Amino acid sequence: MTSTLPVQPDSTDSSEIESTETHGHAVEEHGDFRMFGLATFLVADAMTFAGFFAAYLTFKAVNPLPSGAIYELELPLPILNTVLLLVSSATFHKAGQAIRNSDHARCRRWLLITASLGIAFLISQMVEYFTLPFGLTDNLYASTFFAVTGFHGLHVTLGAVMTLIVWWQARESGGRVTAENHFPLEAAELYWHFVDGIWVVLFVILYLL
Amino acid sequence: MTVTLPPNSTAPAPKLQPTGWLRYFSFSVDHKVIGLQYLVCGFVFYLIGGALAGAIRTELASPVADFMARDVYNQVLTLHGTVMIFLWIVPVVNGAFGNYLIPFYVGARDMAFPRLNAVAFWLIPPAGLMLVASYFITGAAQSGWTAYPPLSITTPATGQIIWIVSVLLLGGSSIFGGINFIATILKLRRPGLKLMQMPMYCWAMLGTSILVVASTPVLAGTLVLLSFDIVAHTGFFNPTLGGNVVVYQHLFWFYSHPAVYIMVLPAFGLVSEILPIHARKPLFGYVTMVYSIMAIVVLGLIVWAHHMFTSGTPPWMRLFFTIATAFIAVPTGIKFFNWLATLWGGKISLNSAVLFSCGFIVNFVLGGITGVALAQVPFDIHVHDTYFVVAHFHYIVFGGSVFVIFASIYHWYPKFTGRMLNEDLGRFHCALTFIGFNFCFGPQHWLGLNGMPRRVAEYDPQFTLINQISSVGALLMAISTLPFLWNVIHSAFYGKVAGDNPWNALTPEWLTSSPPPVENWVGEAPLVKEPYAYGVPIDEIDLSATSGRDLWSSGK
Amino acid sequence: MQIPSAILTLVLGMALVLGGLWVGQTINLLPIDASVNAPIYDELFKVLFTIGIILFVGITGLLIFSLIRFRRRSGQIGDGVAIEGNLPLEIFWTAVPAIVVLFVGLYSYDIYDRMGGMVPLAHDHMGGMHEERIWGGISSGSVGSEMVADVLPIEVTAMQFAFLFHYPDGDITAGELHVPADRPITLRMESKDVIHAFWVPEFRLKQDIIPGQPTQLSFTATRPGRYPIVCAELCGPYHGGMRSTVVVDEADEWQTWFSSNAKPTPITDTTVANT
């Protein structure tokens, strides 16, 4: 996918911005680097999580809680969550494959499945939140747990919303996501894989360690 | 009129974007407009931050806290630091000069993501306005720009939350800019331009942007946690709720130490552009300059705890950070020797840009020396959180970055506006600034060594005379802004017309009109493979016109 | 026949180094020293100051020389010499600063060690206090290890905006810190509210006082007198006014102060015997 820029055929006084109509005159084109930009942004996002994880691990090492306050986290729900997210990454990938074959209907099916899996994750997370024996402000461990999982949950929510937007954009007639140009899908997919990856790290650090 | 038209139409198409000076108040996606928006907006905040500094120095002209209420003084000093860092230096050395110059240097028509660029800029005025307004409306934060808990949790919450939101917005702006620079430099170079042929400022911005993307998000996360402590009564950094204040310091400084390189590396890059042109010699040691930048980037990420030597850190940690910090002096020193070698043997025009750059060299070397001293744990234990540190970092950020900003304005104003600045006024500005600055901050080293802590409105009366000298220096600095402002405004209308290339330079921005057209060049972007190819080759130098002394000291 | 530039450079360099050494030894920028580690600190300061002066004057001198010698005279056109680099020279001026920096680092490590900085914290005998985590600070180190048993423990509490000193033996609480000269002191410090810091410029020692995370500072005062204790961490509006005084007395005068202020206690064997 390329972007074209307007040209000025002759300009001596060049201090004005011209109209944004292009009329198809291209001087030169450069590549589409939006995925690169998104990837750089995800590096920054990963560093935010890194800060949270560093805080969590430091608190854990250095601020011991009274023994009654250390909780054994139940694993079944988080394991379910991990499975949900991993499967949803696979289904998103399938959606990408489908659109490259111009199969809009199939793509949209996979996108809906992905979004549903994401929403299922969120519901499962909510269930876990309500069945936990501690609340946000109970102690340092609790606060950090909710901060990290909450921040991740926000990312999942955003991802699910974006997936549904792409589902809308992938419609057969009038949608902007096509086999030739499906940047919104690619971008949402990368973001989704990122969120999935962060969850795996989170699962290990918060639930397994 | 500059509109692309279908061949047969006669009427001009309606303009969809503002033109003329209105562009600068619009959501323009042109990197040159955005660059100047950053510059002017940043300068306005510089004046605000300077007014705050004036208030501080007025208070400190007497040893008692008699000029303003003590909590107001703490708000003033908090705002002074926050405004200068996040609303002046970071936006200007990165956003102003970076956005304006980088597309030229890589041979592109604009940045990789022009709309993101505009978004990044337009985050700044509201965030800055909100921050400054908080002083008048709710009371500003008063825990310093470092916002250490528990103080930041126990002072009035509204001001602190506004401060947090403002810094989060400004950090976000910075991150968006960083993404744009990385993509532009790595991906948008014109065909034929290799990485090692780029002007040095590109390398400086690449390194800086890596730091921005890696470290600013950690600050964002930390401030989010801090805001939870303030509004939701969590206890991340609240000891009474089981939290750990030292963890805040680690997380805060993980960003805030790279932040100083974010403020200074672009300045290094700008000096590397300015000196060769006016000395008419190539930049000395291009490759080592590149490696030095990368070394500073890597080292800059692992030295943060030298801000915490007297805090709750164990001895082994203090030792590690001493060694790592001291080593940053090596790549930094290399750059200074290379600049000296660039000047040596040149034909130097002593114009304002060069004089400010040389002022930068003198000031920054002093600041760097006190920095190496501060890196040593036993030395720092005595002077941490005293006026010695205040002196040190002002030599770096003002004597360093701000001097370079002024040098850059004198150097590129002709390109931005098409007119030359008045050189006599410029040299006068430089002299006033240099003298005022050194009178203000030089004596502060002694104050710190002898017992004056920082962030105080009152002090031991034995320090009165030195503080008064410092305040007079600050007054001189304030006055020095006047010839500059007059020069900038007057020259915009009456300055000598600059032409395309008043400095006879080789880099791409000078190979087009002043100011440049929308697409930067008419026709193809020039391919400049040797941006520093100044000077007469040594075997071609006319020996009859020079003496042996003119050449390198090996006597050739 | 002109003097070879190499000789001129050598002479200038020697003058620079000698001048720097003279300045470093002669110009005193620090307050009086009043603790055992203060002269050690001052040694380090002199070395750093000397190196700093030499570097600063040298570089500034080179710069000013270049600006004068290689300036463009009016009417001159033409360029300088197209020298793009000089690898041996660059290696030289990378190696020399690296060595200087390494030397400074190792030297200051030695100084820090002599000041007691490398000793594990909570090393000192705190006279009956339970083992607790100390979060940062300076132990008494290798300064007269035989005197460690004679350590006088004092608890410091910092609050907005005052310091309180509590002597566990004798149960004295005072607003000023009274210590005997030539005897190791260990301060166990904690804050009641926000972060403060304990700084005595004449001792060259500073340590943050952190709520919920006790820190420690050990020193031995040498010079009787009154010295300021300055809070060195922003703690609120009255941070500038948060000061106290450390009164260093001769041993016997201090004993008089101690005895006249100590509360009568029942005879217990946790009282530390004074020599």
Q: Which residues of C touch B395 (CB under 8 A)?
A: none
* ipTM computed for the complex: 0.91
- Whole-angstrom distance, CA of residue A152 vs CA of residue B270: 40
The nearest CA of chain C is from the CA of B75 a distance in Å of 10
Q: Which residue has the tokens 């530039």?
A: C5
Q: Which residues of C touch B62 (CB under 8 A)?
A: none
- Whole-angstrom distance, CA of residue B275 vs CA of residue B358: 9
Q: Which residues of A touch B218 (CB under 8 A)?
A: 47-48, 50-51, 54
CB atoms within 10 A of CB B10: 5
Query: For chain B, which chains pass the contact test of at least 3 CB pairs under 8 Å?
Result: A, C
User: A113 Cβ partners below 8 Å, 6+ apart?
Assistant: A88, A91
Contact B4 A9 (CB under 8 A): yes
CB atoms within 10 A of CB A143: 28
* Nearest C-alpha neighbor of C190 from the set C165, C158, C219: C158
Contact B386 C45 (CB under 8 A): no
Residue B24 at interface with chain A, using a CB cutoff of 8 Å: no
* Nearest C-alpha neighbor of B425 from the set B487, B476, B482: B487
Contact A40 B182 (CB under 8 A): yes
CB-nearest to B144 from C136, C199, C234 is C234
The nearest CA of chain A is from the CA of B528 a distance in Å of 18
Residue B536 at interface with chain C, using a CB cutoff of 8 Å: yes
Q: Which residue of B has its CA nearest to A65?
A: B242
DSSP bridge pairs for C205: C200
* In contact, B376 and B392? CB cutoff 8 Å: no
CB-nearest to B217 from A51, A58, A144 is A51
Q: What is the pLDDT of residue B15?
A: 59
Q: What is the pLDDT of residue A139?
A: 81
Query: For chain A, which chains pass the contact test of at least 3 CB pairs under 8 Å?
Result: B
pLDDT exceeds cutoff 60 at A7: no
Size of interface A-B (CB pairs under 8 A): 177
User: B76 Cβ partners below 8 Å, 6+ apart?
Assistant: B52, B55, B56, B68
Mutation target to probe the B interface, by most B beta carbons within 10 A, among C51, C83, C121, C159 is C83
Residue C269 confidence class, pLDDT cut points 50, 70, 90:
low
CB-nearest to C235 from B151, B281, B550 is B151
- Whole-angstrom distance, CA of residue B541 vs CA of residue C80: 9
Contact A140 B241 (CB under 8 A): yes
Q: Which residues of B touch C208 (CB under 8 A)?
A: 310-312
Chain centroid offset of residue C246 CA: 17
Q: What is the pLDDT of residue B14?
A: 58
Could you write out the three-class secondary structure of B27-48? CCCCHHHHHHHHHHHHHHHHHH
For residue C96, what are its two tokens?
Answer: 């020399």
Q: Which residue of A has its CA nearest to B525?
A: A28
- Whole-angstrom distance, CA of residue C247 vs CA of residue A180: 82
* In contact, B148 and B155? CB cutoff 8 Å: no
User: B74 Cβ partners below 8 Å, 6+ apart?
Assistant: B142, B143, B144, B455, C234, C236, C237, C239
Residue C12 at interface with chain B, using a CB cutoff of 8 Å: no
Phi/psi of residue B501, nearest 5 degrees: -140, 70
DSSP assignment of chain C equals: -PPPHHHHHHHHHHHHHHHHHHHHHH---S----BTHHHHHHHHHHHHHHHHHHHHHHHHHHHHHHHHHTBPPTT-----B-----HHHHHHHHHHHHHHHHHHHHHHHHHHHHTTTTSPTT-S--SSPPP----SEE--TTS-GGGGGG-EEEEEEEETTEEEEEETTTTEEESSEEEETTSEEEEEEEESSS-EEEEETTTTEEEEEBBTB-EEEEEEB-S-EEEEEE--S--SGGGGG-EEEEEEE-HHHHHHHHHHHSPP----TTSPPP-
Q: Which residue of B has its CA nearest to A64?
A: B242
Chain centroid offset of residue B556 CA: 40
Torsion of CA A109, A111, A116, A119, to 10 degrees: -170
Percent of chain C scored above 90 by pLDDT?
68
Judged by CB atoms within 8 Å, which residues 45-74 of B form the interface with C? 65, 69-71, 73-74
Q: Which residues of B touch C9 (CB under 8 A)?
A: 553
Across chain C, what does the average pLDDT equal?
Answer: 86
* In contact, C97 and B368? CB cutoff 8 Å: no
**B96-136 tens-digit pLDDT:** 999 999 999 999 999 999 999 999 999 999 999 999 999 99
**A71-119 tens-digit pLDDT:** 778 889 999 999 999 999 999 999 999 999 999 999 999 999 999 999 9
Q: Which residues of B touch A45 (CB under 8 A)?
A: 217
Judged by CB atoms within 8 Å, which residues 369-388 of B form the interface with C? 369-370, 372-373, 376-379, 381-382, 384-386
pLDDT exceeds cutoff 60 at A15: no
The nearest CA of chain B is from the CA of C86 a distance in Å of 7
Is the backbone peptide bond immediately before B463 cis, with ω within 30 degrees of 0? Answer: no
Q: DSSP state, A161? A: H
Q: Which residues of A touch B187 (CB under 8 A)?
A: 30-31, 33, 36
Among the ranges given (B114-123, B328-337, C136-145), the one the predictor scored with the smallest mean pLDDT = C136-145
Q: Which residues of B touch A135 (CB under 8 A)?
A: none
The nearest CA of chain C is from the CA of B157 a distance in Å of 14
Contact B282 C84 (CB under 8 A): yes
Q: Which residue of C has its CA nearest to B323?
A: C105
Q: What is the pLDDT of residue B271?
A: 98
| 3-class DSSP assignment, residue B348 | strand
What does pTM read for this prediction?
Answer: 0.91
The nearest CA of chain C is from the CA of B41 a distance in Å of 31
Among the ranges given (A128-142, B401-415, C58-72), the one the predictor scored with the smallest mean pLDDT = A128-142
DSSP bridge pairs for C197: C208
Residue B112 at interface with chain A, using a CB cutoff of 8 Å: yes
**C16-39 tens-digit pLDDT:** 999 999 999 999 999 999 999 899
Judged by CB atoms within 8 Å, which residues 291-350 of B form the interface with A? none
Could you write out the three-class secondary structure of B181-240? HHHHHHHCCCCCCCHHHCCHHHHHHHHHHHHHHHHHHHHHHHHHHHHHHHHCCCCCCCHH
Q: Which residues of C touch B361 (CB under 8 A)?
A: 59, 63
- Whole-angstrom distance, CA of residue C264 vs CA of residue C275: 19
**B337-381 tens-digit pLDDT:** 999 999 999 999 999 999 999 999 999 999 999 999 999 999 999
Judged by CB atoms within 8 Å, which residues 79-98 of C form the interface with B? 79-86, 89-90, 93-94, 97-98
pLDDT exceeds cutoff 70 at B158: yes
Residue C81 confidence class, pLDDT cut points 50, 70, 90:
confident
Q: What is the pLDDT of residue B5?
A: 44
Contact C120 B315 (CB under 8 A): yes
**B47-72 tens-digit pLDDT:** 999 999 999 999 999 999 999 999 99
Q: Which residues of B touch C118 (CB under 8 A)?
A: 315, 319
Beta strands C152-159 and C184-191: pairing type? parallel
Residue A3 confidence class, pLDDT cut points 50, 70, 90:
very low
The nearest CA of chain B is from the CA of C274 a distance in Å of 31
Q: What is the pLDDT of residue B470?
A: 98
Phi/psi of residue C220, nearest 5 degrees: -130, 115
Across chain B, what does the average pLDDT equal?
Answer: 93
Chain centroid offset of residue A203 CA: 17
Q: Which residue of B has its CA nearest to A58?
A: B247
More confident residue, B555 or A129: A129
Q: What is the pLDDT of residue B19?
A: 77
B385 conformational bin, left if phi > 0, alpha if psi -120 to 50, beta if neither: left
Q: Which residues of A touch B181 (CB under 8 A)?
A: none
For residue C115, what are its two tokens?
Answer: 């000041």
Cα R_g (chain B), whole angstroms: 24
Judged by CB atoms within 8 Å, which residues 121-180 of C form the interface with B? 121, 135-136, 138
Q: Which residues of C touch B369 (CB under 8 A)?
A: 51-52, 55-56
Q: DSSP state, A92? A: H
Judged by CB atoms within 8 Å, which residues 252-291 of B form the interface with C? 279-288
Q: Which residues of B touch C228 (CB under 8 A)?
A: 451, 460
pLDDT exceeds cutoff 90 at C121: no
Contact B3 A18 (CB under 8 A): yes
Contact B4 A19 (CB under 8 A): yes
| 3-class DSSP assignment, residue A78 | helix
Q: Which residues of C touch B313 (CB under 8 A)?
A: 136
| C43-62 exposure pattern, b = at least 16 Cβ within 10 A, e = fewer | ebbbbbbbbbbbbbebbeeb
Helices B97-106 + B403-417 axis angle, to 10: 60
Query: What angle is formed at CA C252 by the lines to CA C251 and CA C257, rounded to 5 degrees?
Result: 100
Query: For chain C, which chains pass the contact test of at least 3 CB pairs under 8 Å?
Result: B
Could you write out the three-class secondary structure of B154-178? HCCHHHHHHHHHHHHHHHHHHHHHH
* Nearest C-alpha neighbor of C166 from the set C187, C192, C191, C140: C187
DSSP assignment of A7-71 equals: --SS-SS--S---S--TT--S--B---HHHHHHHHHHHHHHHHHHHHHHHHHHHHHSPPPGGG--
- Whole-angstrom distance, CA of residue B387 vs CA of residue B412: 35
Contact B2 A40 (CB under 8 A): no
